[in-house]
Amino acid sequence: MKLASAPRQPFVGLALMAAIGIIVGELFQLPSVALTVAAIILAVCAFTLTCWPRLLVTYAVVGAGFFLLHNFVTNNTEGQQLADELGSRPRVLTAIGCVITEPKTGPSGFATFLFKLESIELEGRKEPTHAVWQVRWKGGAEFGDELKFFGTAEPIPPPRNPGEFDMRSYLARRDVRRILFVRYPEDGTLIRHGGGNPILRAAQKSRAWMQNAICRGLDDAPEVQTFLSGTVLGLRHQTPEDIEEPFQQTGTLHLFAVAGLHVGIVGALLWMLASVARLSRRSAAMLIIPLLLFYAAVTGLHISSIRAAVMASIMIGGFFFERKAFLFNSLAAAAFVLLCWNTNELFSTGFQLSFAVVGAIVLFADPIFGFLQRWVAIDPFLPRSLLRGLRRWLDSGGEWLCHGTSVSLAAWAGSLPFVLWYFHLVTPISLLANLIVVPIAFFVLAIALLSLLSAPLLPWLAVIFNNANWALATLVIGIVHLFAQIPGGHFYVEHPHWPEKLVAKITVLDIGTGAAIHLRTGNADWLFDCGSERSYQRVVREYLHWAGVNRLAGLLLTHGDALHLGGTTQLLDDFPRVRLVDNPAPDRSTIHRQLQRLFQQRRIQSDALAAGDSFRLSRDVIAHVLFPPRNFSSPIADDQAYVIQLLVEPAASVLFMSDAGIKTEEALLAGHSNVRSDIIIKGQHHSGESGSEAFLDAVRPGLIIASSRDFPVQERISDTWAEELQKHGIKLFRQDQTGAVTLRIGRDSWEAQSYLTGETFRSVNQ
């Protein structure tokens, strides 16, 4: 489609000016008085424009209107007002309100949902409010329930590590400024059922019935059930990560986002039913449009489904008004409607991806198809009626392949900048995967819809359809897992940054009382510990993707603490060919023993290094093991943790202490080990005693990076110890205040930077 020659597509300019106005409104916030004055002036200009219309003036008024609208949406909101009133510390209070989103229950048993407040009671004072909070409660909440909670309203924490999802910014776009943590089920009381938006409540009940219908007879196939629920109904939160990640790596995750494919199939089936019923075009349009909008509501009112439903409604509405609808104009109209509904949608990942992909398909699919077809098309002077047999099949197959390839390539190109920015991922295999998977998914969705139609009257027929879908879903999952394993089919790309000429870069992640340290030197990436299973899933893996780590050179496990090595099994699934250095000292850790059995089963040879051994990470970086000595044993795991001295020639030396305590420090001093180092990276001993004055005098560090947490008490850095460091001129980065810390070590200097505060500490010779 040639945009310049497309006649009368007014929404393209309107949507563009709306986006510009919102972006300017995001950058420049006006005070309330100025907003009121500007709104009055704009209303006068708009009224004048209706009498003397001018195109450029219309665009200017639309841009200014969205500038003011975004200011009104984001300035002095109810959520922000209540957050300012409560202050920055946690507050214990009573809250009454209504559940406005479907609760999502995590592995811990806590349900998470958005809660629209009616009132709060704090310090004996009751105050009405309409702010929206996020609630975590170990109870059985349903959409529309009116509830009374007693809990702690906490500020939403910012991300503490690179690559970590910024939940605070995400919720702030929805004016959600607090999390209400309700510790016990009995701290929540049901006032009444059946509140909330009646349309959304009906949509949720319909979704529950549909999910039960398409999964009937598949009780022994939970993986297929979650796939069908995600594909047909967009229930992504029910999809386990071990299923979802291969779809992301093959560029087929869009199957779980109800979008143009899903809405198109539903619309086509409804049009077929209308044709069978011999309805006129106008009558069919009047029937199909509300059903498509209801399908978007049933699937959760996600941006992609709303965009697709609005686009389809505009296209079908053309039959009602007997006007031709243009694809790009329809896409722009959908964007304009969504931005009128909520200007913050412009900054959401779903909005950007959805419109970028469809826009790229509209703009580039036809030119790519024309280019590809020239390679496979028959002689244009040969009538198609003369084609027979295999030649006719080959021609039709080639044309279908060109269509599929052109759409897949255009969609991949449209999504690539956003996938790179948000997910740090490139998926060349998606071009092939979509060609195979999307046609199968078409039949999966079509059969699921047939199952829904037959379930009320012929349940046995619905079970037959579901079992047919079991075969197709199993095939899709198998194909996706196979493509995800192809070398080079996907790879992660480091987040863009200015080039750095470094000998080594060390990132000390902040994962509470556990540990995970990433070392990059030359072309080698090492991890010292990998955190607990939960920490690896939520923090370490996401960080590795952000850092563009596609291959780990090595993993060192300091000691048998689940908070340090609990994520090893998952890490070995992600990075199967990794050198493993495991602490040989015997311990009573159940998880450590399970890992050692896993190493034997997978025939993974681990290096059991001890004091006096060394291993090289790169040409300029060598690691010396200082502790424990060979055949060492202690009843306490922290007392036998690895102590590693990293020599980064010629600029710095770094001492990794893990959770070692006073006993380890005394042993190192008694053995006359050369512990002199510029930097110490340490955790907290289970007793809370480490970093003795004698040991610090021997090390003489310029900087200490130490984990710290309020609970349990022994994991918190004492004020006395922090003051002693200050007296000795030692800089302390305590991670409860700094978050992750990044060390950049060059040829003649080094610097450390806090992720949370941005504070930078440099070596004295810099």
Domains of the chain by residue range: 3-74, 78-196, 348-425, 494-762
CA dihedral 431, 432, 438, 444 (to 10 degrees): -150
DSSP 611-662: TT-EEESSSSEEEEEEEPPTT---SSGGGG--EEEEEETTTEEEEEEET--H
Q: What is the mean pLDDT of residues 5-25?
A: 82
Spatial neighbors of 308 by CB under 8 A, at least 6 apart, are 258, 259, 260, 262, 263, 264, 296
Residue (of 529, 568, 524, 531) closest to 547 by Cα position: 524
What is the rounded CA–CA span in Å between residue 403 and residue 351? 25
Fold of 494-762: Metallo-beta-lactamase; Chain A (3.60.15)
pTM of the model: 0.88
* DSSP character string of 427-496: -TTHHHHHHHHHHHHHHHHHHHHHHHHHTTT-HHHHHHHHHHHHHHHHHHHHHHHHHHTSTTSSEE-PPP
Which three-class secondary structure state does DSSP give residue 123?
coil
Q: Is 8 exposed, middle or buried (0-12, 13-18, 19+ CB in 10 A)?
A: exposed
**CA atoms of 610 and 641, how far apart (whole Å):** 11
The amino acid at 731: K
Q: Is the pLDDT of residue 6 over 60?
A: no
Q: How far is CA 33 from the centre of its chain?
A: 38
Look at the alpha carbons of 483, 484, 486, 488 in this order and tell me if their dihedral is positive or negative.
Answer: positive
DSSP helix/strand/coil, 257: coil
Higher pLDDT, 322 or 168: 168
- pLDDT per position as a tens digit, 513-559: 999 999 999 889 999 999 999 999 999 999 999 999 999 999 999 99
Q: In whole angstroms, what is the distance from residue 182 CA to residue 205 CA?
A: 26
pLDDT of residue 320: 60
For the record, the structure tokens of 651 come out as 């600029």
CATH class of 78-196: mainly beta
Please choose, from the candidates 546, 502, 496, the residue with its C-alpha nearest in 3D space to the C-alpha of residue 521.
Answer: 502
Q: Tell me, what's the pLDDT at 33?
A: 78
In one-letter notation, the amino acid at residue 504 is A
Q: What pLDDT digit, counting tens, does each position of 195-242 carry? A: 777 777 777 788 888 889 888 888 888 888 888 888 887 776 555 566
Tens of pLDDT along 666-686?
Answer: 999 998 889 999 999 999 998
pLDDT for 762: 93
Q: Say if strands 679-682 and 614-616 run parallel, antiparallel, or are unpaired.
A: unpaired
Q: Are 78-196 and 494-762 the same fold in CATH? A: no
pLDDT interval class at 4 (50, 70, 90): very low
On whether the CB atoms of residues 355 and 335 are closer than 8 A, the answer is: yes
Q: Looking at residue 394, what is its pLDDT?
A: 61
